[in-house]
């Protein structure tokens, strides 16, 4: 069984929060985690990270919105199983073919594209 906990990371003046706080799935299944946000700019980057026990945050991917919507990047380890969507109020990350090693705390983060 894989367990997922989502925690927000925020920038000043903006907010982002998970739409669910914990998910549990079986190996081989898929899971979609989501966060909703409000931002003073329509041009933001929505980032996803994960954190395994006693480890630093590990970058997974980011996706832009608004005029930076063509910008995205995915870490090499995540390219085959991690995908993301982003719009003007929410972001999701989907992990397919879950493995026990995907058990972690997942963080969604909001970054103004002008930063």
Residue-wise pLDDT for 52-69, tens only, equals 888 899 999 999 999 999
Q: Identify the helix (H) or strand (E) that includes residue 46.
A: strand 44-51
Can you give the pTM of this predicted structure?
A: 0.86
Closest by CA to 91, choosing from 52, 65, 114, 59, is 65
The per-residue pLDDT for 61 is 97
Closest by CA to 113, choosing from 66, 64, 44, is 44
CA distances from 72 to 20, 53, 100, 104, 107 (A): 24, 27, 26, 23, 17
Helix segments in the chain, DSSP class H: none
Domains located in the chain, CATH noted: 2-112 (2.60.40.10)
Residues 6+ apart with CB under 8 A from 94: 30, 31, 32, 33, 82, 83, 84
Residues 6+ apart with CB under 8 A from 76: none
76 or 6, higher pLDDT: 76
The per-residue pLDDT for 6 is 61
The per-residue pLDDT for 13 is 66
Residue-wise pLDDT for 78-110, tens only, equals 999 999 999 999 999 999 999 999 999 999 999
Residue-wise pLDDT for 19-53, tens only, equals 887 888 899 999 999 999 998 888 999 999 999 88
Confidence of residue 12 (pLDDT cuts 50, 70, 90): low
Evaluate if residue 1 carries a pLDDT over 60.
Answer: no
CA dihedral 18, 23, 27, 28 (to 10 degrees): -60
């Amino acid at each position: 069984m894989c367990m997922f906990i989502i925690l927000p990371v925020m920038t000043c003046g903006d907010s982002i929060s998970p739409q669910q706080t914990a998910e549990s799935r079986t190996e081989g299944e898929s899971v979609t985690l989501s966060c909703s946000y409000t931002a003073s700019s329509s041009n933001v980057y929505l980032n996803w990270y994960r954190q395994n026990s006693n480890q630093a945050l590990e970058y997974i991917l980011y996706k832009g919105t608004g005029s930076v919507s063509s910008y995205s990047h995915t870490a090499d380890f995540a390219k085959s199983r991690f995908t993301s969507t982003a719009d003007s109020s929410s972001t999701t990350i989907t992990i397919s073919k879950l493995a026990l090693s995907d058990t972690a705390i997942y963080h969604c983060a909001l970054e103004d594209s002008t930063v």
